């Protein structure tokens, strides 16, 4: 078989090989099957039975989680049941089976497609959203009409597969946790999409933005992923495979070498100590923080606790999760970020409008300010957990002082009620903000006076500064971390923070690139937070350089006028430094 090479966007480095599994969640391929006129009645009976089974399944699901649900959540199931009882839909399907003499699954999926299309054209946003519900219901029915093995159910996936999908939502990626997936490939997406971030957190390579990987790769095709270069090789020949096995071996050896740095301090040759922390998406991953020598958690993305479930996590559940993390990283600190839903992260329990431009829509702190009921529960849980370790918290996507004050006002109310209930919390808990919106940079002096620390979220700051969607592969080449406009934003943020005497951390993906980390270090970043597995290579860089050189080179880099010039300059300078230090012993 011919070897085919696809080039995409490198999203998580590493090498993997194995059989491909095409995860086409959106659409089931339902073959057109003609039946005989004698089969019509039994086909209709089969359809009715499938609908009944789907209804039973929904009722059972509803009963199972009823105890934990709030009344609003039961409505999701009730709405699904109503669709399955819709006489118009049922009559249309049975009528068409009779008329066309085509199989129940084919007719049902054609009718449902028309329903979905009709929904997507409704101007009312809420009703338009219901198309997803109808799709979900259709899958439940189709499961009973078709050979199960043809349907893709994330829960029943076998181990050691390379998942190939058109798109993979962050919640789908999270649901693959514990599944021993070898890697991810997607047609769309950018390098800082949350799916890419989850791949890093699961420690598997990923290539995104491959455009038509789902068409080029077939189920069970042998596939090699080179996550660093963003390459995918379909049907690799013996030589290619050997080459990659060798490459993987080399990577394993160099990672083992890095392991020796685990317990050494992140300190420059001229004695500047840097705080190296880990980003955390799933509390189950907490052991990786210490495994890679992390000094705590600089960004705990709590929204993943809300995903892949029909209810919202209760205060108690959140408290336990935050407390576990705080205790596990002690004596080091954890910075818990309040809910950052929206953008590319959605959950089932709350209908967030899927805005035309979701990253510019009701996202992060905006959502929390609109839903103080949900926000307060999280704040209570964080505050309660704060007595069990060194806990600080921060709000994502703050765009100015008014927003910060509104969030803080809710926090004060929550503190007040905890005090009146005699529930302890750390009265001195540090409250910071993420700097991800250009308006926050421009007002950073004011913000710095009313907050305890900044944490720069470059994944978003880059997309909002350059007007480049972080999950759109078509504009991925314009997503330039070293763009002078971005660097000036970062420098302004650092200066504002330091003028007001507060520290500034960085927790976007750039922090994990040793080259950019070197530049950021020279610019004055106090704390670095990144995917746990990448901390050691940044530590290696820190331990090989002098802070004063980093400062000098960063100053020069900031005088340059294009992103490419900056990257080339830093690359050259860093390598020259390393060589020089080596030569000088």
> What Rg value do the Cα atoms of the chain yield, rounded?
26
> Where does this chain touch Mg ion (CB under 5 A) — which range of 44-52, 179-187, 411-419, 435-443?
435-443
Of 172, 340, 403, 567, the one binding ligand PEP (CB under 6 A) is 340
- Rule CB under 6 A: say whether 534 interacts with ligand PEP: no
- The stretches of 27-164 forming alpha helices (DSSP H) are 40-65, 71-84, 87-100, 104-120, 125-145
Judge contact between 354 and 129, C-beta under 8 A: yes
Judge contact between 538 and 530, C-beta under 8 A: yes
Of 294, 457, 522, 531, the one binding ligand PEP (CB under 6 A) is 457
Give the residues across from 165 on adjacent strands: 23, 186
Q: Is 544 a catalytic residue?
A: no
> Where does this chain touch Mg ion (CB under 5 A) — which range of 26-34, 150-158, 377-385, 450-458?
450-458
Site string for ligand PEP, 293-312 (x = CB under 6 A): ------x-x-----------
Handedness of CA 87, 93, 97, 103 (dihedral sign): negative
Q: Which is nearer to Mg ion, 191 or 539 (CB)?
A: 191
Q: Which is nearer to ligand PEP, 434 or 536 (CB)?
A: 434
> Where does this chain touch ligand PEP (CB under 6 A) — which range of 10-18, 284-292, 452-460, 494-502?
452-460
Please report, for residues 77, 85, 87, 111, 573, the alpha-carbon distance to residue 54 in angstroms, rounded to integers and kept in the order given.
11, 11, 16, 17, 63
Of 109, 308, 264, 281, nearest in space to 201 by CA: 281
Distance from C-alpha of 208 to C-alpha of 82, rounded to nearest angstrom: 38
Number of Cβ within 10 Å of residue 370's Cβ equals 12
Q: Which is nearer to ligand PEP, 435 or 554 (CB)?
A: 435
Q: How far is the CB of 188 from Mg ion (least distance, A)?
A: 19
CA atoms within 13 A of residue 208's CA, in its CB half-sphere: 28
> Where does this chain touch Mg ion (CB under 5 A) — which range of 367-375, 429-437, 523-531, 565-573?
429-437
Determine the size of the site formed for Mg ion (CB under 5 A).
Answer: 3
- Rule CB under 5 A: say whether 460 interacts with Mg ion: yes
- Rule CB under 6 A: say whether 460 interacts with ligand PEP: yes
Q: Encode 420-452: b = buried (16+ Cβ within 10 Å), e = exposed.
A: eeeeebbeebbbbbbbbbbebbbbbeebbeebb
- Rule CB under 5 A: say whether 285 interacts with Mg ion: no
Q: Is 368 a catalytic residue?
A: no
Q: Which residue is nearest to ligand PEP (CB)?
A: 457
Q: Which is nearer to Mg ion, 295 or 460 (CB)?
A: 460
Q: Which does 508 bind (CB under 5 to 8 A by kind): ligand PEP, Mg ion, none?
A: ligand PEP
Of 195, 459, 465, 573, the one binding ligand PEP (CB under 6 A) is 459
Q: Which is nearer to ligand PEP, 296 or 508 (CB)?
A: 508
Of 43, 403, 436, 549, the one binding ligand PEP (CB under 6 A) is 436
Determine the size of the site formed for ligand PEP (CB under 6 A).
Answer: 10
- Rule CB under 5 A: say whether 457 interacts with Mg ion: yes
Of 508, 514, 531, 563, the one binding ligand PEP (CB under 6 A) is 508
Q: How far is the CB of 337 from Mg ion (least distance, A)?
A: 9
- The stretches of 192-302 forming alpha helices (DSSP H) are 194-202, 213-216, 238-259, 287-291
Distance from C-alpha of 479 to C-alpha of 469, rounded to nearest angstrom: 8
Q: How far is the CB of 513 from ligand PEP (least distance, A)?
A: 13
> Per the residue annotation, which of 73, 80, 166, 194 is the catalytic one?
194
Phi, psi of 112 (to 5 degrees): -65, -35
Handedness of CA 508, 513, 515, 517 (dihedral sign): positive
- Tell me, rounded to whole angstroms, the distance of Cα 248 from its chain centroid: 26
Distance from C-alpha of 554 to C-alpha of 518, rounded to nearest angstrom: 8
Q: Which is nearer to ligand PEP, 142 or 299 (CB)?
A: 299
Within residues 91-150, the interface with Mg ion by CB under 5 A covers: none
Question: Can you point out the beta strands (E) in 370-429?
Answer: 390-395
Contact residues for 501 (Cβ-Cβ < 8 A; gap 6+) = none
Distance from C-alpha of 48 to C-alpha of 54, rounded to nearest angstrom: 10
> Where does this chain touch ligand PEP (CB under 6 A) — which range of 35-43, 458-466, 481-489, 520-528?
458-466
Q: Which does 190 bind (CB under 5 to 8 A by kind): ligand PEP, Mg ion, none?
A: none
Q: Which does 299 bind (CB under 5 to 8 A by kind): Mg ion, ligand PEP, none?
A: ligand PEP
Number of Cβ within 10 Å of residue 314's Cβ equals 13
Q: Which residues bind ligand PEP (CB under 6 A)?
A: 299, 301, 340, 436, 457-460, 507-508
- Kindly list the residues in this chain that would bind Mg ion in the complex (CB under 5 A): 436, 457, 460
Active site residues: 194, 507
């Amino acid at each position: 078989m011919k070897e085919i090479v696809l080039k995409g966007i490198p999203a998580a480095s590493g090498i993997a090989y194995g059989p491909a599994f095409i995860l086409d969640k959106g659409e089931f391929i339902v073959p057109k099957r003609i039946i005989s006129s004698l089969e019509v009645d039994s086909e209709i009976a089969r359809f009715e039975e499938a609908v009944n089974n789907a209804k039973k399944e929904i009722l059972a699901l509803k009963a199972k989680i009823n105890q934990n649900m709030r009344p609003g959540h039961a409505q999701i199931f009730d709405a699904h049941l109503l669709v399955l009882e819709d006489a118009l839909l049922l009559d249309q399907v049975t009528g068409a089976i009779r008329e066309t003499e085509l199989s129940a699954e084919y007719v049902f999926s054609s009718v449902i497609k028309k329903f979905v299309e009709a929904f997507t054209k409704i101007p009312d946003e809420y009703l338009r959203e219901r198309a997803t519900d109808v799709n979900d219901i259709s899958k439940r029915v189709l499961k009973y009409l078709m050979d199960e093995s043809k349907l893709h159910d994330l829960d029943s996936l076998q181990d050691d597969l390379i998942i190939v999908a058109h798109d993979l939502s962050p919640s789908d990626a999270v649901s693959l946790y514990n599944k021993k997936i070898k890697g991810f490939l997607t047609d769309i997406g950018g390098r800082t999409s949350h799916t890419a971030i989850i791949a890093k957190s699961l420690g598997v390579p990923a290539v995104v933005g491959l455009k038509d990987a789902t068409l080029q790769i077939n189920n069970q095709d042998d596939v090699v992923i080179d996550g660093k270069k963003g390459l995918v090789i379909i049907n690799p020949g013996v030589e290619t495979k050997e080459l990659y096995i060798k490459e993987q071996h080399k990577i394993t050896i160099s990672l083992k070498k890095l392991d020796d740095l685990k317990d050494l301090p992140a300190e420059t040759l001229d004695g500047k100590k840097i705080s190296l922390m880990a980003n955390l998406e799933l509390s189950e991953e907490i052991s990786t923080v210490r495994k890679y020598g992390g000094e705590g958690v600089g960004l705990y993305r709590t929204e993943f606790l809300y995903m892949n479930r029909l209810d919202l996590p209760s205060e108690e559940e959140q408290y336990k999760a935050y407390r576990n993390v705080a205790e596990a990283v002690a004596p080091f600190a954890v910075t818990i970020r309040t809910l950052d839903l929206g953008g590319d992260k959605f959950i089932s329990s709350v209908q967030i409008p899927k805005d035309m431009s979701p990253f510019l829509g009701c996202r992060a702190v905006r959502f929390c300010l609109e839903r103080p009921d949900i926000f307060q529960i999280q704040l209570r849980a964080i505050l309660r957990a704060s007595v069990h370790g060194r806990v600080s918290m921060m709000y994502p996507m703050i765009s100015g002082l008014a927003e910060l004050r509104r969030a803080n006002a809710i926090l004060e109310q929550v503190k007040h009620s905890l005090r009146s209930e005699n529930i302890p919390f750390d009265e001195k808990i540090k409250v910071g903000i993420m700097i991800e919106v250009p308006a926050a940079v421009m007002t950073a002096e004011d913000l710095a006076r009313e907050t305890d620390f900044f944490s720069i979220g470059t994944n978003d700051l880059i997309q909002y500064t350059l007007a480049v969607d972080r999950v759109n592969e078509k504009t991925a080449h314009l997503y330039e971390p070293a763009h002078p406009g971005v660097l000036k934003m970062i420098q302004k943020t650092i200066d504002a923070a330091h003028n007001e005497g507060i520290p500034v951390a960085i927790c976007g993906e750039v922090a994990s690139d040793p080259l950019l980390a070197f530049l950021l270090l020279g610019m004055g970043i106090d704390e670095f937070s990144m995917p746990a597995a990448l901390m050691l290579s940044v530590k290696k860089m820190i331990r090989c350089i002098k802070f004063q050189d980093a400062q000098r080179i960063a100053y020069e880099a900031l005088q340059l006028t294009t992103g490419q010039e900056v990257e080339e300059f830093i690359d050259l300078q860093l390598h020259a430094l390393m060589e020089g230090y080596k030569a000088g012993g």
